[in-house]
Amino acid sequence: MENESKQIIYMVNIDKRETMRNSVVMEKEGFIRTFDTLRGELNVTEICMDAHAQISALFDKGKYKDSGVQHTLDIWHGSKNLSKEIHAAGQQKGCAILRIWNKDICNHFWYCCKTADTYEEFIDIWMALLHHVTGEHTWALGECQHGP
């Protein structure tokens, strides 16, 4: 699906027998066929999708490592992975407070994703969290975007 128009721009059908009746393999194969076709016809700069481990591996160390295409997670999967990381960090000695802040941090991640128009703006809003959690709502280079 193209992001701006929300139009389906390509679709591939794969018979499950082509992939040993394995849905994980089928999803990866469908992605490869679609991505290869789109790259031949369009200037693809970013792929945003779920957290499928085998597809992520294609960009991290596999077929598309040097493709120049940025692989990002959709907001829901990004937030889910962030929550898992915060929970795991909160299990460590002296870090239990992170578990209390987990939901609020993930909500802030959603807010950053929804309001930022650029990567730089996202980082500015995201980093405000560090000030906010310490009770500091105004600092040298900015302030929280919430009311009093």
User: In which band, very low, low, confident or very high, does the pLDDT at 148 lie, cut at 50, 70 and 90?
Assistant: low
d(CA 143, CA 103): 21
Q: What CA–CA distances, in Å, run from 118 to 45, 81, 140?
A: 15, 22, 21
Quick one: tokens of 122?
């996202």
The answer to whether residue 105 scores a pLDDT higher than 80 is yes
Of the pLDDT bands very low, low, confident and very high (cuts 50, 70, 90), residue 16 is confident
Instruction: Report the number of secondary-structure helices (H) and strands (E) in the chain.
Output: 5, 4
Structure-block tokens of residue 33? 């066929």
Note whether 32 and 54 are within 8 A (CB). no
- The pLDDT tens digits of the residues spanning 24-68 come to 889 999 999 999 999 999 899 998 888 788 898 999 998 999 999
User: What confidence score (pLDDT) does residue 52 get?
Assistant: 83
Res. 85 pLDDT band, cuts 50 70 90: very high
Mean pLDDT of the chain: 89
Cα(148)–Cα(22) distance, rounded to whole angstroms?
A: 53
Distances (CA, A) of 98 to 73, 76, 91, 92, 104: 23, 20, 9, 10, 10
pTM value is 0.69
Query: CA 29 to CA 140: how far, in whole Å?
Result: 50
